[in-house]
Chain A
Amino acid sequence: MGEKYEPKILALICTYCTYTAADMAGSMRLQYPPNVRVIKLLCTGKVDVIYLLEAFKAGADVVMVSGCEIGDCHFLEGNLRAKERVAHAKTLLDDLGLGGDRLEMFHIGASDAPKWAEAVKLMTRRAHELGPNPLGRKKPRAAQTNIEELRA
């Protein structure tokens, strides 16, 4: 203990819009906190509630999902599906006592690099406000749910 808290932020982002924006943020040399770990998806419609819960189980302090702007989804409504699922997952996190504020959905267009940088800053601030994910600081469990089998 006593270590400086550096939040771990998981970002599940869509390749068509937000990932392009994040890429452009790099080209534009925009500064944003290095706490974010990006997982690129073909579409945020792939995001399942179980992925979000597993991310927190694995110790992520906050999780952000970011897809295309509403109406701009490459697959028409993947980002709308993700929006609904994130809203549902927030209630599940509230239920179990971790708090839904640790999870947030964003819609960032491919050309909107500054918005991506702002979103990461926002979530980093929130991670500092909320403090570390208590699950990440507990001892590893003897056994885990066999969710790997579910994914197979």
Chain B
Amino acid sequence: MIVAERKPFDEIAAATSGFRKVLVAACGTCVAVCLTGGEKEAGILAAQLDMAATLGDREQVFSVGCVERQCDREFLEELGPQIAEADAVISMACGAGIQFLAEAYPDTPVLSGVNTTFIGVNEDVGVWTERCRSCRDCVLSITGGVCPIALCPKGMLNGPCGGADQGKCETDRERDCAWSVIYRRLENTGRLANLEEVIEARDHRDLLPGRQVHPAYQRRYSAHE
């Protein structure tokens, strides 16, 4: 899932200072799971902003709205009546959701309430760690299900650098060397021969804004076809 962290309060408060009626729009999927931008967190932010406005003698009103996902048009439609009442919207969704919300309601200023951090996993209660950089060229079949691009600070593709020591990374003694983990995983599953495969350097020239169409939706049919 996509993980995000809330922006510093002062930054959000400064961004909203010029607007009288502000809607805090939560997203009920990824950012709700990572306890950053769900309905509850939006309520907390709205309460904080409301109190700060009162303390600062600013006439501002904050309300809360929540949709299941801000990265789907169907769900965004539900926010229409609330956005029509608002002078600005703070979106608590990931960067994708914020942009889609801004696109769906182009006449209303949309502000971001979170910093999107990474694609990760829920490693423990309240702990999320990065696992994927969405590089579009997955090598996980070769590397035993451990991503050297996301987990190695240097993104080494063919074995460890010279800085690994006792299975730990030179950038942080607490961090496992990704390539040590890869070696152990391949050893456990009897696939050490994978290490002989040379992974070529990523060709970054195709890293244009992504677009993907499912094969079953390649052709669009009209109603009378």
B104 interface hit (Cβ, 8 Å):
no
How far apart are the CA atoms of A49 and B45 in the complex, in Å? Answer: 11
Please determine whether A145 and B44 come into contact, CB atoms closer than 8 angstroms. Answer: no
Contact with A along B128-156 (1 / 0, CB 8 A): 00000000000000000000000000000
Contact with B along A48-61 (1 / 0, CB 8 A): 11100110110000
Please determine whether B43 and A145 come into contact, CB atoms closer than 8 angstroms. Answer: yes
Please determine whether B47 and A54 come into contact, CB atoms closer than 8 angstroms. Answer: yes
Partner of B48, one of A48, A96, A138, A141: A96
Please determine whether A145 and B55 come into contact, CB atoms closer than 8 angstroms. Answer: no
How many residues in A have their beta carbons less than 8 Å from beta carbons of B?
24
A135 interface hit (Cβ, 8 Å):
yes
Q: How far is the CB of B61 from chain A (nearest CB, A)?
A: 5
Given A50-B44, A96-B55: A145 and B39 within 8 A (CB)? no
- In the complex, which residues of chain A have a beta carbon less than 8 angstroms from the beta carbon of B49? 96
A95 interface hit (Cβ, 8 Å):
yes
- In the complex, which residues of chain A have a beta carbon less than 8 angstroms from the beta carbon of B122? none
How far apart are the CA atoms of A85 and B163 in the complex, in Å? Answer: 40
Please determine whether A147 and B48 come into contact, CB atoms closer than 8 angstroms. Answer: no
- In the complex, which residues of chain A have a beta carbon less than 8 angstroms from the beta carbon of B56? 97
How far apart are the CA atoms of A134 and B51 in the complex, in Å? Answer: 10
Partner of A50, one of B40, B51, B61: B40
Partner of B55, one of A53, A92, A98, A147: A98
Q: How far is the CB of A4 from chain B (nearest CB, A)?
A: 23
Please determine whether B10 and A50 come into contact, CB atoms closer than 8 angstroms. Answer: no
Partner of A95, one of B10, B43, B50, B62: B10
How many residues in B have their beta carbons less than 8 Å from beta carbons of A?
22
Please determine whether A95 and B9 come into contact, CB atoms closer than 8 angstroms. Answer: yes
Given A147-B43, A150-B39, A150-B43: A96 and B52 within 8 A (CB)? yes
Q: How far is the CB of B209 from chain A (nearest CB, A)?
A: 35
Given A96-B52, A98-B55, A134-B55: A143 and B43 within 8 A (CB)? no
- In the complex, which residues of chain B have a beta carbon less than 8 angstroms from the beta carbon of A146? 63-64
Please determine whether B47 and A50 come into contact, CB atoms closer than 8 angstroms. Answer: yes
Q: How far is the CB of A151 from chain B (nearest CB, A)?
A: 9
In chain A, residues 49-97, which have Cβ atoms closer than 8 Å to a Cβ of chain B? 49-50, 53-54, 56-57, 92, 95-97
B117 interface hit (Cβ, 8 Å):
no
Given A95-B9, A138-B54, A150-B40: A53 and B61 within 8 A (CB)? no
- In the complex, which residues of chain A have a beta carbon less than 8 angstroms from the beta carbon of B76? none
Please determine whether A147 and B10 come into contact, CB atoms closer than 8 angstroms. Answer: no
Q: How far is the CB of B115 from chain A (nearest CB, A)?
A: 16
- In the complex, which residues of chain B have a beta carbon less than 8 angstroms from the beta carbon of A27? none
A28 interface hit (Cβ, 8 Å):
no
In chain A, residues 14-68, which have Cβ atoms closer than 8 Å to a Cβ of chain B? 48-50, 53-54, 56-57
List the interface of chain B (C-beta within 8 A of A).
8-10, 13, 39-40, 43-44, 46-52, 54-56, 61-64
Besides A141-B50, A149-B64, 14 other CB < 8 A contacts? A53-B48, A53-B51, A92-B44, A92-B48, A95-B10, A96-B9, A96-B13, A96-B49, A134-B55, A138-B54, A145-B47, A145-B62, A145-B64, A146-B64
Task: Report 16 cross-chain contacts, Cβ distance below 8 Å, ordered by A residue.
Answer: A49-B44, A50-B43, A53-B44, A53-B48, A53-B51, A54-B47, A95-B8, A95-B10, A95-B48, A96-B9, A97-B56, A134-B54, A141-B50, A142-B61, A144-B50, A145-B50
